[in-house]
Amino acid sequence: MDMAKNEGQELNKGMGLHARRILAYLVLITVSFLCLFWFYVLFINATRSNSDLQSGFTFIPGGNLAENWKNLVNGTLPIWNGLLNSLIVSTCSAALCVYFSTMTAYAIHAYEFKLKKYIYPFILMIMMIPTQVTALGFVQLVSKMKLEDSFIPLIVPTVAAPVTFFYMKQYMESSLPLSLIEAARIDGSGEFRTFNAIVLPLMKPAIAVQAIFTFVSSWNNYFTPALILHDDKKKTLPILIAQLRAADWLKFDMGQVYVMIAFSIFPVIIVYLFLSKHIVQGVALGSVKG
C-alpha cells in the first residue's frame, strides 16, 4: 500500500511539473507573440503605399516597398548621413559609458578611501535627477563652448552614467572577489593592467547588457540631439524621422515614414544579435554559480 501511495505521489508530482512547464511555455509564446507582432505590423506597413495605409490595416504585405524606399532615398532628407551620425554617437556613447562606468564601479569596489561610504549614495542620488531639469543649463553651456552641431556634447556626458554604474557595481559584488585582485597585485600586475586584463573579461556579460541598453538609448534619443543639432547633415535618425512625420500634408507619405523607421531598427537588431551570445553566457554562468 505504501508503494502504491508513493507511486501516486510521484505521478501527481510529475503531472504538476508537466502542467507548470506547459503554462510556462504558453506564457513565453504569448509574450513573444506580443513583442514580435508589432515588428510584423511595422514591416507590413513599410510595404504599403500612403493611400493603402489610410484605408486600414491588413496582414498581407503590399507591393510598394521599393517605391517607398526610392522616394525616401531621393527625398530631401539625408538619411545616410543620419545613419552614420547615429552610429557614431551611439557606438562611442556605448563604449565610453560601459568602460568608465565599470572603472568607477571597480574603484569603489576594490579600494578603501575616505568618504567611500558617501560616494555610492551620492551617485545614486544623481540618478534620480531627470534630464529635462538640466537641459536649459546644458544647452547654455554647449552654446558658450561653441559646440552646437557637434557630437561631443552627445558623447562625452555619457561617461557619467549612474544607472550603468549601479548595475556594474551590483554585478561586480557577486562576480569579482577581492582575493583575485590581491593575487594580481602580488604577482606584480599594475592597476590598469589588472583592470583591463582581469576585471573587464570577468565583466563581459554585464558589459554586453549595458552596451546594448546604452546603444539603444542613445540611438533612440531625440530630446538632447534636437536641442544641439541644427544642420541637417549632422542630425541623427530620430530627428530626421520626426521631420519626415512633420512634413506638409501635401508631401506627407506614411509609407516613407514606416520604411525609415524599419531602416532605423536594423542596426539595433544587428547589435543585439552580436552581443546576445555574451548575455546568454552570463545567464548560464550565473545559474552554474547559483
Per-residue pLDDT of 73-102, as tens digits, reads 887 888 899 999 999 999 999 999 999 999
Closest to 203 (Cα-Cα) out of 111, 127, 273, 101:
101
Residues above pLDDT 90, as percent of the chain? 12
Mean pLDDT (whole number) for 54-62? 81
CA distance 153 to 221: 13
Question: At residue 109, what is the residue type?
Answer: H
Candidate from 108-112, 145-149, 229-233, 273-277 with smallest mean pLDDT: 273-277
Mean pLDDT (whole number) for 198-216? 87
The separation between the first and the last C-alpha atoms of the chain, rounded to the nearest angstrom, is 39
The helix/strand/coil state of 201 is helix
Candidate from 27-31, 133-137, 232-236 with smallest mean pLDDT: 133-137
- DSSP count for the chain of H helices, then E strands: 15, 0
Q: Confirm if 279 and 207 have CB atoms less than 8 A apart.
A: no
Total number of residues shown for the chain: 290
Name the grid cell of 4: 502504491
Residue 289: its pLDDT value, please? 44
Tell me the whole-structure pTM to 2 decimals: 0.81
CA distance 19 to 242: 48
Question: At residue 72, what is the residue type?
Answer: L
